[in-house]
């Protein structure tokens, strides 16, 4: 029973396969059809019906699209501009006092506060500080500011640090530099990987605010691995940490300080008047003290009748004996005649 | 106000102590009647070294500058009994002429500190100018400040501390005098004459008797 069924199935499969291998034939012009259509006028898709459509379309396109000029070929789509000179000092004049360097105010107040809080938190949790310089996406670092020199100058002392140049809306342009104490410990490939993964995280986000947030979070994670790689926080790394003076690092903000930051920001305009007031009060006190020291005192003069025949003085005044420490001044206060004393 | 000899209280303008009869004549008889010529800082006992002298003179000069009417003199010497130092101070301020004090500053404006290192006693007297403003207790405060230093025979230190206290007391009194001069003036006003008091009492009695006579007459007339 089994053999006849198997032969039937095999035969059916062979038939189907043969039918599939037979291709349908291409359509072909019948005599007179083409001539008739051309006589009637323009035909939609006429170019397709021509003998060599490819040649016709290429020729037509070439005649219509102008060729790009040499300048257009050389110029990038989004030209980069140099960082305005007025910000050079703010960016590169001194070691940053904050982990977030944004003198141009590219971040909103809220974003600035949140990112700075995050960087402060990172610094409190990590042996490697993360400094972020924020630039516009189309800005270019001036040639005078050589990154390696700046890092050497500002970050050779103090805690180990990673410095990131971040470009708003263009995280792919970001660059990372490590302080000299880390350069030998962390290979360049690791730095490149850290930057690459941070950029990947950033470009997945739609808006610049989310981009920098994602970038920093990822960079912080990668710095943790760099820290492990460099052996920071372990016994081996103690000398490196010891050589780094904490006093050079920016002040780490406590959680309470982060909460109070808005109040501090609000009270900043009052600092100058308050300082002036204190200074003027202090100056007033000093001046009063100085005038008092220089003051001259005059007593009113009254007529006093002479006593006991003394022309100038009547002998009023106290006497004290310092013969013995056992007789202190307190016991000599009441100066009365001997015969009036009580013994 | 006390007598320099018996330390009993005496009234203003007493020409003699009513208790012991002491006057300048007795002091002259004890210490000499002739006028003395002294410098403000006279160290007859020789207890001050060169450096000490300069420090003491500086402190004295400071008071003279701050109080242009006043000068301070310091005398050290052996006097014998403690009781004599009070009389000696009284006599010295009345009888001496201080060579290095400007003429416009009479002895009435002087404050004299006398130290006897032999009997280990010190006294402070002042002239009539300061009579309304200083009390015996004020001078005692000044001497008390110096007591600890003098016990250790650091005489210059003691003098400087006493003068510093004196300066502060004088400043305070001067400010008080500026605010309420009448208060100090009352302290040196001459006492009312006995005759005046009797006259006032009698006048009061007379007024009373006149009133009584008038009222009696009115009653009689009624």
What is the mean predicted confidence (pLDDT) over A189-209?
89
pLDDT for res A5: 67
What is the mean predicted confidence (pLDDT) over A222-249?
61
pLDDT for res B92: 92
Q: Do A299 and B129 touch (CB under 8 A)?
A: yes
Q: Which helix (H) or strand (E) holds A195?
A: helix A188-203
- Asked if residue A230 is part of any domain, the answer here is yes
B96 φ/ψ angles, rounded to the nearest 5 degrees: -95, 155
pLDDT for res B146: 94
What is the mean predicted confidence (pLDDT) over A183-188?
83
CB within 8 Å of chain A, chain B residues 42-71: 65-70
User: Following DSSP, what letter does each residue of A136-172 receive, concatenated?
Assistant: -TTEE--TTS-HHHHHHHHHSSSS-EEEEEEETT-GG
Going by C-alpha positions, the residue among B152, B144, B44, B136 that lies closest to residue B90 is B136
Report residue B168's pLDDT band, with 50, 70 and 90 as the boundaries: very high
A321 contact B CB<8A: yes
Contact B7, A335 (CB under 8 A): yes
pLDDT for res A240: 46
Q: Do B119 and A323 touch (CB under 8 A)?
A: yes
Going by C-alpha positions, the residue among B122, B34, B40 that lies closest to residue B77 is B122
pLDDT reading at B111 higher than 80? yes
Strand pairing report for A319-321 and B121-126: antiparallel
What is the mean predicted confidence (pLDDT) over B154-180?
94
pLDDT for res A245: 46
Number of compact structural domains in chain A: 1
* DSSP secondary structure letter of residue A44: T
pLDDT for res B218: 67
Q: Do A312 and B127 touch (CB under 8 A)?
A: yes
Strand runs (DSSP E) across B44-187, as ranges? 71-76, 96-98, 110-116, 121-126
What is the mean predicted confidence (pLDDT) over A175-186?
86
pLDDT for res A67: 73
pLDDT reading at B114 higher than 50? yes
Report residue A332's pLDDT band, with 50, 70 and 90 as the boundaries: confident
CATH number for position A157: 3.10.310.50
Distance CA A186, CA A242 (A): 19
* DSSP secondary structure letter of residue A128: S
B176-200: per-residue pLDDT in tens?
999 988 888 887 776 555 556 666 6
A323 contact B CB<8A: yes
Strand pairing report for A175-178 and A161-167: antiparallel
The count of other CB atoms within 10 Å of the CB of residue A119 is: 22
ipTM: 0.81
**What are the extents of the domains in chain B?**
35-183, 192-221
CA-based nearest distance B205→chain A, Å = 33
pLDDT for res B173: 93
- Asked if residue A282 is part of any domain, the answer here is no
Q: Do A318 and B93 touch (CB under 8 A)?
A: no
For testing the chain B interface, which of A305, A306, A312 should be mutated: the one with the most B CBs within 10 Å? A312
B-chain residues near A307 (CB < 8 A): 1, 10, 12-15
Percent of chain A exceeding pLDDT 70 equals 76
A301-330: per-residue pLDDT in tens?
888 888 888 888 887 788 999 988 888 888
**Phi/psi zone of residue A174: left (φ > 0), alpha (ψ -120 to 50 degrees), beta?**
beta
B-chain residues near A312 (CB < 8 A): 93-94, 106-108, 110, 127-128
B-chain residues near A328 (CB < 8 A): 147
What is the mean predicted confidence (pLDDT) over B43-50?
90
- Asked if residue A21 is part of any domain, the answer here is no
Q: Do B66 and A296 touch (CB under 8 A)?
A: yes
Report residue B19's pLDDT band, with 50, 70 and 90 as the boundaries: confident
CA-based nearest distance A278→chain B, Å = 29
Contact B39, B6 (CB under 8 A): no
A-chain residues near B110 (CB < 8 A): 312-313
CA-nearest residue to B191 within chain A is A305
CA-nearest residue to B94 within chain A is A312
For chain A, the average pLDDT equals 79
- Asked if residue A301 is part of any domain, the answer here is no
CA-nearest residue to A306 within chain B is B13
CB within 8 Å of chain A, chain B residues 100-159: 106-108, 110, 112, 119-134, 136-137, 139-140, 143-144, 146-147, 150-151
For testing the chain A interface, which of B140, B146, B166, B170 should be mutated: the one with the most A CBs within 10 Å? B140
- Asked if residue A279 is part of any domain, the answer here is no
Contact A245, A157 (CB under 8 A): yes
Contact A249, A233 (CB under 8 A): no
A100 or A3, greater pLDDT = A100
Report residue A180's pLDDT band, with 50, 70 and 90 as the boundaries: confident
For chain B, the average pLDDT equals 86
B-chain residues near A315 (CB < 8 A): 2-4, 86-87, 89-90, 93, 125
A-chain residues near B190 (CB < 8 A): 305
What is the mean predicted confidence (pLDDT) over A204-217?
90
Percent of chain B exceeding pLDDT 70 equals 83
pLDDT reading at B47 higher than 50? yes
CATH architecture of B35-183: Roll (3.10)
* DSSP secondary structure letter of residue A45: T
Q: Do B120 and A297 touch (CB under 8 A)?
A: no
pLDDT reading at A211 higher than 70? yes
Tell me the whole-structure pTM to 2 decimals: 0.49
pLDDT for res A243: 47
pLDDT for res A301: 87
Q: Do A299 and B173 touch (CB under 8 A)?
A: yes
Contact A308, B24 (CB under 8 A): yes
pLDDT for res B59: 94
Q: Do B8 and A321 touch (CB under 8 A)?
A: no
Show the domain range for A144: 85-250
Question: Of A110-114, A225-229, B19-23, B144-148, which gets the smallest average pLDDT?
Answer: A225-229
pLDDT for res B196: 60
Going by C-alpha positions, the residue among B161, B164, B158, B184 that lies closest to residue B173 is B184
Report residue A242's pLDDT band, with 50, 70 and 90 as the boundaries: very low
What is the mean predicted confidence (pLDDT) over A10-30?
67
A311 contact B CB<8A: yes
Q: Do A320 and B144 touch (CB under 8 A)?
A: yes
What is the mean predicted confidence (pLDDT) over A214-219?
91
């Amino acid at each position: 029973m089994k053999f006849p069924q198997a032969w039937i199935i095999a035969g059916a499969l062979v038939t189907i396969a043969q039918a599939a291998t037979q291709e349908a034939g291409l359509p072909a012009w019948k005599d007179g059809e083409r001539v008739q259509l051309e006589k009637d006028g323009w035909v939609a898709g006429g170019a397709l019906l021509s003998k060599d459509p490819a040649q016709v379309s290429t020729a037509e396109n070439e005649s219509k699209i102008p060729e790009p000029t040499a300048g257009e070929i050389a110029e990038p789509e989004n030209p980069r501009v140099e960082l305005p000179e007025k910000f050079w000092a703010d960016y590169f004049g001194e070691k940053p006092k904050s982990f977030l360097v944004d003198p141009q105010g590219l971040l909103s107040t809220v974003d600035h506060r949140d990112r700075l809080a995050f960087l402060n938190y990172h610094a409190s949790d990590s042996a490697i500080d993360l400094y972020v310089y924020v630039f516009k996406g189309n800005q270019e670092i001036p040639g005078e500011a050589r990154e390696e020199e700046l890092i050497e100058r500002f970050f050779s002392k103090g805690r180990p640090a990673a410095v990131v140049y971040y470009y708003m809306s263009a995280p792919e342009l970001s660059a990372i530099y490590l302080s000299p104490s880390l350069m030998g410990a962390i290979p360049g490939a690791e730095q490149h990987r850290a930057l690459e993964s941070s950029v990947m995280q950033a470009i997945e986000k739609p808006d610049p605010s989310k981009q920098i947030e994602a970038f920093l979070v990822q960079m912080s994670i990668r710095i943790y691995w760099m820290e492990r790689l460099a052996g920071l926080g372990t016994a081996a790394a103690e000398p490196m940490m010891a050589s780094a003076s904490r006093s050079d690092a920016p002040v780490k903000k406590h959680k309470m300080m982060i909460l109070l930051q808005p109040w501090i920001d609000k009270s900043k305009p009052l600092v100058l008047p308050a300082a002036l007031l204190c200074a003027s009060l202090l100056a007033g006190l000093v001046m009063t003290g100085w005038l008092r020291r220089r003051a001259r005192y005059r007593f009113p003069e009254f007529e006093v009748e002479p006593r006991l025949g003394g022309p100038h003085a009547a002998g009023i005044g106290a006497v004290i004996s310092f013969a013995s420490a056992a007789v202190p001044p307190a016991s000599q206060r009441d100066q009365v005649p001997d015969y009036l004393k009580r013994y | 106000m006390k007598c320099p000899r018996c330390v009993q209280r005496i009234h203003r303008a007493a020409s003699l102590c009513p208790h012991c009869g002491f006057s300048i004549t007795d002091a002259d008889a004890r210490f000499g009647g002739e006028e003395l010529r002294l410098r403000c800082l006279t160290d007859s006992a020789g207890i001050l070294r060169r450096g000490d002298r300069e420090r003491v003179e500086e402190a004295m000069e400071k008071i003279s500058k701050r109080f242009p009417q006043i000068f301070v003199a310091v005398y050290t010497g052996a006097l014998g009994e403690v009781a004599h130092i009070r009389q000696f101070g009284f006599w010295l301020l009345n009888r001496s002429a201080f060579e290095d004090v400007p003429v416009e500053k009479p002895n009435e404006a002087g404050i004299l500190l006398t130290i006897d290192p032999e009997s280990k006693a010190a006294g402070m007297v002042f002239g009539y100018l300061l009579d309304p403003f200083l009390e015996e207790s004020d001078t005692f405060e000044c001497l008390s400040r110096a007591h600890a230093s003098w016990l250790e025979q650091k005489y210059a230190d003691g003098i400087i501390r006493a003068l510093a206290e004196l300066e502060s007391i004088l400043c305070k009194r001067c400010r008080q005098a500026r605010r309420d001069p009448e208060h100090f003036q009352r302290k040196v006003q001459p006492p009312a004459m006995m005759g005046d008091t009797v006259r006032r009492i009698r006048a009061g009695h007379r007024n009373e008797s006149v009133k009584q006579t008038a009222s009696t007459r009115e009653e009689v007339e009624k």
